[in-house]
Amino acid sequence: MRFRRAAIALLFAVLIVVPARAAEAPTAIQPPPAQAPPAVQAPPAVQAPPAVQPPPEVHVLYPPDLTFTSDPKVKIFAFRGSKGDPVAPVVNGKAAAPLDGETFLKGEVSLFTGLNLLQVGDKSLRVFVLPNALMSSFRSPSGNEGQELVFKSYRLHPALDDGCDGCHTLEGGKLKAKDQKEACYACHNDFSKAEGGKKVFLHAPVASGECTSCHDPHFATRPKLQKLEKGCFECHDPFPPNGTVHAPVRAGECIACHSPHAGPAPKQLARAGNALCLGCHKETHTRHRSSAVLGALTRVPENFPVERGELSCTGCHVPHQSPNARLFRKPQDDLCRTCHSV
């Protein structure tokens, strides 16, 4: 009986102690929170090399594309807005000597007979060489049916050899022309200044300093660097072709009587009064030119043009064109009655 009570007591003690120790048992160990792996640092960005700046654009003044020449050497004149590496022309795929200068460029290259391909900066030019040629142009098939290339010969302004800076300045990378009177009269005569203080009559473009209205400052196909295809008739109205036309007018030789720049008489005439007409015409018209030859049937109107006691040729004749014979101002019968009572 004692043994049974002891066993019950022991079992009761175990039931009391075990839960108490269970309550005191530590909580399960929690694993530490997972930490994010350190961020992988990206390698520093590779710096791109600085962009290579294209060379300054080269503006070729001469030669133009499709140039024809009898000289196996051709001059090159060009400019660019800022300084840069030397500019070496390429002739038929082969580099030539660099052009002289930093902004205003000039030089000379040798060419072959026939077609030459010339590269100056980013400009491609074609130059045809035909030694000892006398013609001013050359035509060649282009490869396209019905088309052909026209190569032209040019006259150069000698001032180009002295350099562009004689007539131009560079401002902000752009070419600017000097005042034309300042630039042109540095080499050419000032037409407004006549010898001996005599009065001079100026052509309107000359008086206003507009030399380039008639002349190209660099090169041209015509003599004197004339750039106007129609010549004087570019500005002046042509005369009617009917009736009687003065021979120089018909031939387009205006400068036979007029100076293109300045003259001693109005309208830039090369000579004043009857002296101009008598430079070509030897018929003196003595009786009609003298205002002293008067009679009962002859009375010269007061407004009739007279020069130094002689009647002016222009009193009866017009200088350019007339619907009447012999360049008469009026039909002959009416003209005679101007002075004669018949």
- Locate 172 and state its tokens: 């902000």
Are 261 and 203 contacting, i.e. CB atoms less than 8 angstroms apart?
yes
* Coil, helix or strand at residue 73: strand
**pLDDT winner (highest mean) among 173-177, 240-244, 319-323, 333-337:** 319-323
Per residue in 225-268, pLDDT tens? 999 888 899 999 999 889 999 999 999 999 999 999 999 999 99
What DSSP string runs through 142-181? -SSTT-EEEEE--EEPGGGGG-GGGTEEEETTEEEEPPHH
Distance, CA of 118 to CA of 120 (rounded, Å)? 7
Distance, CA of 138 to CA of 66 (rounded, Å)? 9
Distance, CA of 249 to CA of 320 (rounded, Å)? 6
* β-strands 123-129, 67-69 pairing: parallel
What percentage of residues in the chain have a pLDDT greater than 90? 57
132-166 CB burial, b ≥16 within 10 A, e <16: eeeeeebeeeeeeeeeebebebbeebebbeeebee
User: Would you say the pTM of this structure is higher than 0.85?
Assistant: no
What DSSP string runs through 101-113? -SSEEEEEEE--S
